[in-house]
Amino acid sequence: MNKNKNKRWGMIAMAFTAVLLMGGCGSGGGKAGDGSAQPSGSKAGGSDGPTYSFRLAEAHPADYPTTKGDMKFAELVKERTNGRITIDVFPSAQLGEEKAVIEQVQLGAIEFTRVSTGPMAEFNKDFGVFSLPYIFDSDEHVWNFLLGETGMSMLDGLQSSGLQGLGWYSSGSRSFYSAKPLKSIDDLKGKKIRVQENKLNLAIMDALGASATPMAYGEVYSSLQTGVIDAAENNYPSYYSSKHYEVAPYLLLDQHQRVPEVLLVSKTVWDKLSEEDQAIIRQAALDSIDYQREEWAKYEKESEEAVRAAGVTITEVTDLQPWKDAVKPVIESYRSEYRNVLDAIEAAK
């Protein structure tokens, strides 16, 4: 017990040390996160103002659409500040898995990250709404909501959690895949299914008669291979790029969730930036969205074609009513908590 406590406090101490060290000195002597003021009369934006060197943590590989979105965002920031603000993207979970990274971003030890809104529910309860099943009918419906008033206001709502949302990225729809044949909702009963780490996903699996097994994304392949879990769920690009189809070649296309991605910056870092630099970074994030969505659409199509060619058995669910009936109690149990957002989602159809 004491050993674990010492280890935990040691990690926190390391994180705060990183906060003190992060960022490069600039012409005005400013560092990321050190609270240094700009020189009197200096105008931030463009090439004027302090120089910053930031890191962005990404769980997916370098050629993945979200990573490409990160890189476009970083490119725009560098271009619009004439190289004064640089953001280095670290793909393939080099800086840690998503949940651990979010904690580090809260502390300011890592400045930026792109994460799924799934695990974000453990850090900000409002984001749990995105894990509710079948609340979006299509990708168009998702984006009507995300780019609307309520969706955009949710980005600023993260400040109470030590984070600042900058923009949304696409992640398609999630479906189930298994090491054994999977053809209907009945085939899920009793199966150990990996889910993203939030309480709502546990409730959904319970409603479907399955046994939820939260675990980090990087552990899923070996867990499927060794039988620690029977199944998992994700979108086409993740299913393909992670090579999960090799050990789970049965895909049941039910599209139960459309869980968007979110681009984040530490509030500790954000509050140290000038309003002009904040505006540049925020606009760069928004301007990277269309590029990321285009890359997503291309990769999603390529991924589907690749797994089909690899011999994956794909079963499309044509009647969603039994699925919606099974999870309806879950949605109703959260309706009072998410009423305003759910009403906005309904209005965005």
pLDDT in tens, 295-344: 999 999 999 999 999 999 999 999 999 999 999 999 999 999 999 999 99
What are the pLDDT digits (tens) for 133-158?
Answer: 999 999 999 999 999 999 999 999 99
Question: In 3-state terms, the chain is what percent helix, strand and coil (to 5)?
Answer: 50, 15, 35
Question: Cα separation of 24 and 269, whole Å?
Answer: 13
> Residue 32 above 50 pLDDT?
no
Q: What is the residue whose two structure tokens read 């004027």?
A: 48
The conformation of residue 55, written as its DSSP 8-state character, comes to E
User: Which of the listed CATH numbers 2.40.40.20, 3.40.50.2300, 3.90.79.10, 3.40.190.170 matches domain 2-34+50-171+260-298?
Assistant: 3.40.190.170
Question: CB neighbours (10 Å) of residue 207?
Answer: 18
Contacts 24+ apart (CB under 8 A), 35-40: 35/272, 36/272, 38/274
In percent, the amount of the chain with pLDDT more than 70 equals: 87
Separation of CA 66 from chain center: 9
Question: CB neighbours (10 Å) of residue 34?
Answer: 15
Q: Taking the complete model, does pTM exceed 0.85, yes or no?
A: no
In three-state secondary structure terms, 45 is: strand
| C-alpha count within 13 angstroms, C-beta hemisphere, residue 246 | 10
Q: Please answer whether residues 129 and 151 qualify as being in contact, where contact means their C-beta atoms are separated by less than 8 angstroms.
A: no
Distances in Å between the Cα of 209 and the Cα atoms of 26, 104, 192, 206 are 57, 35, 10, 5
Q: Where are the alpha helices (DSSP H) in 25-138?
A: 65-80, 98-107, 117-120
Q: Please answer whether residues 7 and 18 qualify as being in contact, where contact means their C-beta atoms are separated by less than 8 angstroms.
A: no
> Residue 1 above 50 pLDDT?
no
Distances in Å between the Cα of 79 and the Cα atoms of 110, 160, 264, 272, 282 are 22, 31, 20, 21, 14
Q: What is the mean pLDDT of residues 235-260?
A: 96
Q: What's the alpha-carbon Rg for the chain, to the nearest Å?
A: 21
Question: Cα separation of 52 and 31, whole Å?
Answer: 6
Question: Cα separation of 132 and 201, whole Å?
Answer: 8
Q: Where are the alpha helices (DSSP H) in the chain?
A: 2-21, 65-80, 98-107, 117-120, 139-146, 149-156, 199-207, 220-226, 236-241, 267-270, 275-287, 289-309, 321-335, 339-347
Q: Amino acid identity of 9?
A: W
pLDDT of residue 47: 74
Which residue would you say has higher pLDDT here, 119 or 191?
Answer: 191
pLDDT of residue 199: 87
Sorted by where each begins, the domain ranges of the chain are 2-34+50-171+260-298, 174-259+309-347
Mean pLDDT of the chain: 89
Q: Amino acid identity of 15?
A: A
Question: Cα separation of 182 and 294, whole Å?
Answer: 31
Closest CA to 94 of 65, 63, 55: 55
Q: What is the mean pLDDT of residues 180-201?
A: 93
Q: Which homologous superfamily is 174-259+309-347 in?
A: Bacterial extracellular solute-binding protein, family 7 (3.40.190.170)
